[in-house]
């Protein structure tokens, strides 16, 4: 099937709000897509009653340190190297919006809920929106 036809066929059946930005042909012998993910960008909307300046202060403090110890499944690890970018991007009526770029490495993947935990916001209700996957360059594995 021509690549151009994939978008035309998929558009009428996509859920509202979902868009196709790019379709391209991949080598069927190339590494599986999930093995090529090296990072993810999230937008997180947190129901939080502190103003954005306080949250920005927490973000700055987290980014200025070399260690942010977090525990997952009984194991402690340093979350800080997995946070590649973290910003407060807005606030609206007791909600704060964050954008975070988190690394995915073999044996270590940054999770947005862990970032909220180290910011002291882990108990808040949050909505997580995955905006983008960052992939390693595709190689010709023929």
The pLDDT score that the predictor gives to residue 139 is 59
Instruction: Report pLDDT for 142.
Output: 41
Q: Residue 15 pLDDT > 80, yes or no?
A: yes
What pLDDT band is residue 137 in, cutting at 50, 70 and 90? confident
Report CA torsion sign: 50, 54, 79, 43: positive
On average, the pLDDT of the chain sits at: 89
Q: What is the spatial distance between Cα 19 and Cα 46, in angstroms, rounded to a whole number? A: 24
Separation of CA 49 from chain center: 23
Please answer whether residues 88 and 98 qualify as being in contact, where contact means their C-beta atoms are separated by less than 8 angstroms. yes
pLDDT of residue 105: 86
Residue 103: pLDDT band with limits 50, 70, 90? very high
**DSSP state letter for 36:** G
In this structure, of 10-24, 55-69, 76-90, 100-114, the range with the lowest mean pLDDT score is: 10-24
Confidence band of 72 (pLDDT split at 50, 70, 90): confident
């Amino acid at each position: 099937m021509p690549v151009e036809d994939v978008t035309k066929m998929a558009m009428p059946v996509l859920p509202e709000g979902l868009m196709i930005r790019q379709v391209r042909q991949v080598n069927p012998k190339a590494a599986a897509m999930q093995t090529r993910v090296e990072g993810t960008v999230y937008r997180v909307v947190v129901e939080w009653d502190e103003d954005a300046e306080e949250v920005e202060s927490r973000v700055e403090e987290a980014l200025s340190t070399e260690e942010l110890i977090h525990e997952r499944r009984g194991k402690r690890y340093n979350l800080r190297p997995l946070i590649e970018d973290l910003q407060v991007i807005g606030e609206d009526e007791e909600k704060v919006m964050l954008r975070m770029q988190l690394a995915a490495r073999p044996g270590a993947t940054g999770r947005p809920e862990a970032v909220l935990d180290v910011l002291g916001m882990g108990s808040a209700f949050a909505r997580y929106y995955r905006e983008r996957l960052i992939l390693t360059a595709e190689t010709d594995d023929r």
